[in-house]
Structure 1
Amino acid sequence: MSGIESIEEFYHHKFNRAPNGVAQESDHFNVFDLAEVLKPGIPRPYQRRDFYKIMLIRGDNIFHYADKSIAANGAALTFFTPDVPYKCEQRGITTGSFCIFKEGFFSDHIRSSLKDLPVFAPGANAIFLLNEQQERLVVDIFQKMQQEIVTDYPFKYNLIRSYVTELIHQAMKMQPMEQLYQHTDANTRITAVFRDLLERQFPIASNEQQLKLRSAMDYAERLNIHVNHLNRAVRTTTGKTTTKLISERLLSEARALLAHTNWNVAEIGYCLGFEEAGNFNHFFKKNTGITPGNYRQQIS
């Protein structure tokens, strides 16, 4: 897995220049046609970026993000965050538009974090297939952003923020309403904080990085609650044990690292908190039925 791509590196890779002052680094925003940046025959690495990206893409494409690979044939609206590594594998002619922005572009204008929005939440659906009507609407929003960003209007970024927000709401409307309902009971709040703490440890970006929180007890101590309290809250809310959710997330990251890095199995196990390679092999085989080495052979 490659390192984290910064805004500066993005402009260097795509345009061989630094950002041109479209906005300051902390609140950077820009919008592009895909045709401006696509370099046929040059694959993009599977990696994290230090900025958010919303993209309208048309064609026959496969998106690899986290431990998932999703085919999108036609028009799709995609949302990617700095927390999740990803790449797009193009199979033929690809067209569309996309915008990139840093957290600061929104942080002073919304009450909560961008990660509280369903499309950017940990584990959220990142890809939305569009019908013709939805595609026309999204195309219109991107055209408005591209037209506005070159104007001298002093409040243009406020207007552009409203266009980005409209894209987010269009995607949220495509999700079943039960996924958008926010429970407010104590068990759900504890589970949400636990999940947030769990996701903060990922993705693993270096083979020298190692997870610090591995057990339910580790998370309970960090949250300053009794482990039994944490376990009851998580089971009540999700139907799963705390240990099961931790194991599922470890397994997801293990699959991603086996698929997208050349680190050996022992290194991956160490990063995931297994001091002994044999313990990691046992954990992986117990949950998948095959060893990490066999899994890597199968996907390659």
Structure 2
Amino acid sequence: MTNAALSTSYQEFTACLGLDLGPLLPTGIQREVGHFNAFDIAHLWESAPAQSAPPYACRSFYKISFLRSHSRAEYADQTIDIAPDALVFSTPKVPFQWLPTETQQGHFCFFTAEFLLPVLGGLTPDELPLFRAEGYPVFQLTPAEAAQVAALFARMHEELASDYAHKYDLLRAYVLELLHLGQKQQPSTRLHPAHSAAARLSSRFVELLERQFPLANPQQRVQLRTAKDFADHLAVHVNHLNKVLKDSTGRTTSDLIGGRLAQEAKVLLRDTDWTLWQIADCLGFVDVAHFSHFFRRYATVSPGAFRTLEAVPV
């Protein structure tokens, strides 16, 4: 992430909370590879004039949250209830909105993909099970685990405030410890996936599909929309790709693509003020009529009706 993009992301973040930008920027970020920062939620909760969840645009980082109070989260197109002492992993690739339901306590840290490059051995965060789109982002902690996580965040805050020359190396180590703690919560089948050719092809398909999202502005456009588009990009026959995905997921290639397009459409209808034409164009439809026909197959209502229903306060 460039310095200009980083500054823009912080401006969005602070605008959401009504806070001053200056004190939030850690020392040394201009010299650091990637970016990292950590916050005490209770402090932000007390400081923010409007205690509301950040809107759709305020997502530019990978984030690990330690939530010590009841809350809810909208993840992709589902709503998740979060009990106290939960560890939550979110990625900029999947729409995520935190919805506090009471006075909040806890901590969160966020970072760019570049920040972890020195310690992931060439991997990106998207290749970790915790940040994959098909994963579940919330993990409940035992009292002992919660104490361990609280201590890690305390050390993060201490290092961020220090003038130690290698503090970002320590911060990477703390983030890795949180990642390992989260991965321990994953089922063993998720930690040790099969490495067959079929499994690799399925994984590559999912990563290629997810790489197109989220759509951050009306000028973006989905490029791969059909089974043939993906098969050509993956250098396999479309029938072979369809068989592999059908065997591994129970769904056809077209159904998986359509479901992901519909999921993104719901998020854009709910969380942005884009016109139906803009959303249809971003998702690759020639006009609103074709988009509406497609959307009804997955949501049973028209895009306009869905937006109206989602806007009604609960």
Q: TM-score, normalised by structure 1?
A: 0.89
Say if 2:79 is the partner of 1:69.
yes
Q: Could you tell me how far 1:197 is from its partner in structure 2?
A: 0.9
User: What is the correspondence of 1:1-300 to structure 2 with a 5 Å cutoff?
Assistant: 6-9=8-11, 12-13=14-15, 14-17=19-22, 19-24=25-30, 26-38=33-45, 39-43=48-52, 44-111=54-121, 112-300=123-311
Show CA shifts across 1:135-177 (max 9, x none): 2221122122223333444443333222211111111222222
Say which SS state the counterpart of residue 255 (structure 1) adopts.
helix
Contact 1:48 1:86 in 2 (8 A): no
Does the 8 Å contact 1:57/1:96 carry over to 2? yes
> Could you report, residue by residue, the CA deviation over 1:24-47 in whole angstroms, capped at 9, with x for unpaired residues?
364222222113333152432123
Distance 1:297 1:69 in 2: 18
Task: Give the conservation status (yes or no) of the 8 Å contact 1:52–1:100.
Answer: yes
Contact 1:4 1:205 in 2 (8 A): no
**1:214: Cα distance to partner?**
0.7
Give the Cα–Cα distance (whole angstroms) in 2 for the partners of residues 6 and 169 of structure 1: 31
CA distance in 1 between partners of 2:49 and 2:104 (Å)? 10
Quick check: 1:4–1:47 contact (8 Å CA) kept in 2?
A: no
* Secondary structure of 1:53's aligned partner: strand
Is the partner of 2:98 in helix, strand or coil?
strand
- Quick check: 1:26–1:102 contact (8 Å CA) kept in 2? no
Question: Match for 1:15: what amino acid?
Answer: D
Deviations 1:3-30 (A, max 9, x none): 9984442675443327343433642222
Query: Which string of whole-angstrom CA distances, capped at 9 and with x for unpartnered residues, describes residues 167-201 of structure 1?
Result: 11111222222222211111111111111111111
Q: 1:280 to 1:12 in 2, by over 3 A?
A: closer
Q: Distance in 1 between matches of 2:138 and 2:8?
A: 23
Between the aligned partners of 2:7 and 2:61, the Cα distance in structure 1 is 9
AA in 1 matched with 2:279? I
Q: Secondary structure at the match of 1:100?
A: strand
Cα distance 1:298–1:176, how it changes in 2: closer, same or farther (>3 A)? same
Question: Given the superposition, is the C-alpha separation of residues 204 and 142 from structure 1 closer, same or farther in structure 2, using an over 3 Å criterion?
Answer: same
SS in structure 2 of the partner of residue 15 of structure 1: coil
1:94 to partner: Cα distance: 0.3
Give the aligned residue type for 2:232: E
Q: Distance in 1 between matches of 2:87 and 2:58?
A: 19
**Do the aligned partners of residues 226 and 95 (structure 1) sit closer, same or farther apart at CA in structure 2, a change above 3 Å counting?**
same
Q: Show structure 1 runs of 5+ residues with no match.
A: none
Alpha-carbon spacing, 1:31–1:4, altered in 2? closer, same or farther (3 Å): closer
More deviation in 61-70 or 252-261?
Answer: 61-70
Q: Write the distance in 1 (CA, Å) between the matches of 2:33 and 2:285.
A: 37
**Residues in 2 aligned to 1:275 and 1:224: alpha-carbon distance in whole angstroms:** 27
* Superposition RMSD in Å: 2.4
Deviates more, 1:197-206 or 1:278-287: 278-287
Partner secondary structure for residue 189 of structure 1:
helix
Preserved contact between residue 14 and residue 20 of structure 2 (Cα < 8 Å): yes
Identity %: 36
TM-score (norm: length of structure 2): 0.86
Structure 1 segments of 4 or more deviating over 6 A?
none
Greater displacement, 196-205 / 138-147: 138-147
- Residues 40-68 of structure 1, C-alpha deviations (whole Å, 9 max, x = no match): 52432123532222111222322123223
CA distance in 1, matches of 2:38, 2:169: 15
Give 3-state SS (helix, strand or coil) of 2:170's partner. Answer: helix
